[in-house]
Structure 1
Amino acid sequence: MTKTTTSPQDTAGQAGAPERDGRRWAVLAICSVASALLGIDTSVLNYAVPSLTAQLAPSATQLLWIVDVYGFVLGGLLIVMGNVGDRIGRRKLLLIGVTGFGAASALTAYAGSPEMLIAARALLGLFGATIMPSTLSLVRSVFTDPKERTAAVGISGGVAAASFALGPVVGGLLLDHFWWGSVFLVNVPVMALVLALGKVVLPESRNPRPGRLDWTSVPLSVLGMFGVIYAIKTAARDGVAEPSVWIAGGLGVALLTAFLRRQTRLAEPLLDLRLFRNPAFSGAISANVVTMFASTVLSLGFSLYFQEVRGWSPLTAGLAVLPGPLAAAAVAPAASALIPLIGRARTVAAGLVLMGLSTAGLGLATEHSAYWQLLPVVIVNGAGLMLTFAVTADTILASAPATRTGAAAATSETAMELGGALGIAILGSVLNAYYRSGLTLPSGLTAGQAGAARESVSGGVATGTRLSGGLGHQVVEAARNAFTDSLHATTLIGGGLMLAGAVAALITLRKVPAVLQDPEPAAA
């Protein structure tokens, strides 16, 4: 067991008790459940949109805010909340977040108007931002042995990966029998259980000498991140010509530039830029961004492929992709065993290679591909994802001083949020561009029908379904063929980016040792 220093650096000395009596595995279970609910909540809303739209009748603008406000608030507050946890205690912040998330879930489930639903979703983003960095920080604080820490972080990441694919499955099962609010109400008893067990099991962990919180940096960080994320999401949906993209993006970049400049002059910054001088930290962050950027094409493209091209229900589509995250959860413990054998750089690179090849392989699917032909590639993709994320998450947390684990975890999560948003914006635009350029519609359509069909594959299938006879069938087939061709091209681009990321990981992480000891606080 690796010997660690305690209270001068961090109140992780209090975490020694879980290490001695075995409660650290209970800490891991509680933190994994809390983070899993965040993953489910992120993906489940899309499946509830049709029924909540029918009941609440939101305008087009209100519906966009219902879908997007959670991610806006979550991404904007992660860095701030990671620092708050380092100061007031990560256990305390997690329990506050769990309580608030449960209450906000109930408010969301019983929202009686679009305005109330938007406000409730914003609260979910706020409390989600308190939970996300706290769970990783607490896991890191109680697992002080490097090998156990790597395995624990990998297990936590595997559960989180599986939770994203559980969203469609859970949502589909609930929506088949209950009203749309049930997909949020299910959070309440689970969060109540996490709260009750967390009060008994979780140890406190904080920075004993955090310094004062720079309140000027807080709005610069929050508003800057909000502006950038809003611009990216709006550009992905409405195009870069939309004036709000340039206004929000320009303001966000200006505020973030001022924020970063200010951090270099503070003794206790919200974002410690000196962490990026560590090749282990910066290399792992870069690998995560590349992975999130390129892998979004799968979640976006194959949700449409299974539902619009194959005609499967949302529940069936969710079950079709579930083996990938389940494979990720199964592979998570193996990642820690690979590190001593081939090193961190090669393990991350191997994960990215598996993801790159499987992404390109999934892109070869046709309208009539048998599912058993796709299943092995789905499993390989999930395994590659976890080989990458399990190692990079551990590398990021182990590279930061114990006093700054909340801020380090928040930095990692923020980078992944931005990578995913950029992937949706850029690769999603590429997917749509290939679809529109490859769509050949039959004659006999009105201008409105042709415009709806060219908007997206969903529009094309819906337009063809509304038409009778052979014309409708031709439109549906044209939309499906054009989308399948666009998926081939886009997944090749995504796969190529992951292979390039594998080469970059070999370079940036090549000198990172297999066993990372906790750095002294002076190193930060």
Structure 2
Amino acid sequence: MFLINVPVVVAAFISALIVAPKVAGDATKPWDVVSSFQALVALSAFVIAIKESAHAGQSWAVPAISLLVAILAGALFVRRQLRLPFPLLDFSIFRNAAFTSGVLAAAFSLFAIGGVQLATTQRFQLVAGFTPLEAGMLVSAAALGSLPTVLLGGAFLHRIGLRILIAGGLAAGSLAVLLATWGITHGLGWLIAGLALTGAGVGATMSVASTAIVGNVPVHRAGMASSVEEVSYEFGSLFAVTILGSLLAYLYTVNVVFPAGTSEAARDSMASALVFANEAGADGVVVRQAAGIAFDHAYTVVMYVAAGVLAVGALITGILLRRYGPGSQSSAYPTQH
């Protein structure tokens, strides 16, 4: 599953060497190793804190310590950047509304699409009995839906403007997630249509998020801006898996109602309930139905949360980009394109 990426990376690496323009480095602006280490510690500790919080149980020592390390390393990083003549991250770039909107759009988009795909694949494998391949093909509707808007968004940016593509794309994605939720009660067609439209909305947003980010910093800050963009995408996915994945499991646990005599292990997860149901014979049918009802409820709530996050993202970016409507300049530095 992971090795399939290797030939793609090799091809991209070779292509970059051949096609990418050769740009000489600036030796007068040194790379600060200490800042890189501080950022590495802060981000890594924060990731550990988030992931460990999802299954901390009665011991919160690891996530608490990790969070303290992340805060300390982050504070030291910020303090150092404010004092360096050539910082690794210049916080002044966040003063640009278009840049900040692009960063937020990347995070909101990946949070929603990652959460929707995670919850949907689990729901249809555990409740509907889909194979992993079938569940993967189902959620691929979102990727297929994003293809046309990703290609056309950038092409028509100069006519449509950042505000409509970013805020409008997030808003359309929010409504589409709600439509996809109907698939549980109104048929699979609604789910597929909703996923495709979600991809279309989010695709329009992501098609110009990079332009909003890289196009609104000076040329010498382009690498810095790209790094910020990458981190925002990664954290959007991380929060989706951790927060929405944990919410899905929690809601299942607190809402499931089993008949007397059912193993407590079946309450821990839908997968455990299916194991118990398969071993219980005829009585397992009731357990399976109860688990399915609880998981469907949890899935619906998670989809509503994903839709709500997209709606909040649309509101925030819409306000930030109020001066970036149709015909407006999308980049503060157009000469670098």
Q: Is TM > 0.5 for Structure 1 vs Structure 2?
A: yes
What is the TM-score when the length of structure 1 is the normalising length? 0.60
Count of residues in correspondence between the two structures: 333
1:468 corresponds in structure 2 to 281
1:377 to 179, 194, 216: 194
CA distance in 2, matches of 1:290, 1:187: 25
**3-state SS, counterpart of residue 237 of structure 1:** coil
Question: Which sections of structure 1, spanning at least 5 residues, go unmatched?
Answer: 1-43, 45-182
The equivalences for 1:161-200 within 5 A come to 184=3, 186-200=4-18
User: Which amino acid in the other structure matches residue 456 of structure 1?
Assistant: S
Question: Is 1:516 aligned to 2:331, yes or no?
Answer: yes
CA offset at residue 428 of structure 1?
Answer: 2.7
Q: Which residue of 2 aligns with 1:87?
A: none
Q: Residue 283 in 1 paired to residue 283 in 2? A: no
Distance in 2, Cα, partners of 1:253 & 1:332: 36
Query: What is residue 65 of structure 1 aligned with on the other side?
Result: none
Pick from 505, 510, 514: which aligns with 2:317? 505
> In structure 1, how many angstroms separate the alpha carbons of the residues matched to 2:35 and 2:207?
31
User: 1:441–1:478: 8 Å Cα contact kept in structure 2?
Assistant: yes
Shift of 1:419: 2.6
Please say if 1:202 is aligned against 2:17: no
Specify whether residues 208 and 441 from structure 1 end up closer, same or farther in structure 2 by C-alpha distance, changes over 3 A only.
same
Shift of 1:435: 1.3
Structure 2, gaps ≥5 residues long: none
> 1:201 and 1:520 mapped to 2: Cα distance?
20
Give the SS at the match of 2:260: coil
Q: Which one-letter code corresponds to 1:479 in the other structure?
A: A
Q: Could you say what secondary structure the match of 1:238 adopts? A: coil
> What is the distance in 1 between the residues matched to 2:21 and 2:64?
45
C-alpha deviation, 1:290, in angstroms: 2.5
What does 1:352-363 align with in structure 2 at a 5 Å threshold?
352-363=170-181
Letter in 2 for 1:504: I
Over 3 Å counting, the alpha-carbon distance change for 1:283 and 1:314 in structure 2 is same
Q: CA deviation at 1:313?
A: 0.6
CA RMSD of aligned residues (A): 2.2
2: CA distance, partners of 1:430 / 1:514: 41
Mean CA deviation greater in 221-230 or 454-463: 454-463
Shift of 1:482: 0.4
Pair 414,194 (structure 1): closer, same or farther in 2 beyond 3 Å: closer
Q: Does the 8 A contact of 2:124 with 2:135 survive in 1?
A: yes
1:254-293, aligned counterparts within 5 Å? 254-293=72-111
1:438-449 mapped onto 2 (5 Å cutoff): 438-445=255-262, 449=263
Could you tell me the TM-score, scaled by structure 2's length? 0.91
C-alpha separation in 2, matches of 1:232 and 1:283? 24
- What's the % identity of the aligned pairs? 27
SS of residue paired to 1:264: helix
| CA contact 1:360–1:494 (8 Å) conserved in 2 | no
Q: CA deviation at 1:289?
A: 2.2
* Structure 1 position 519, deviation (Å): 6.7
Q: How far is the alpha carbon of 1:488 from its aligned partner?
A: 1.3
- Structure 1 residue 188: Cα displacement: 4.2
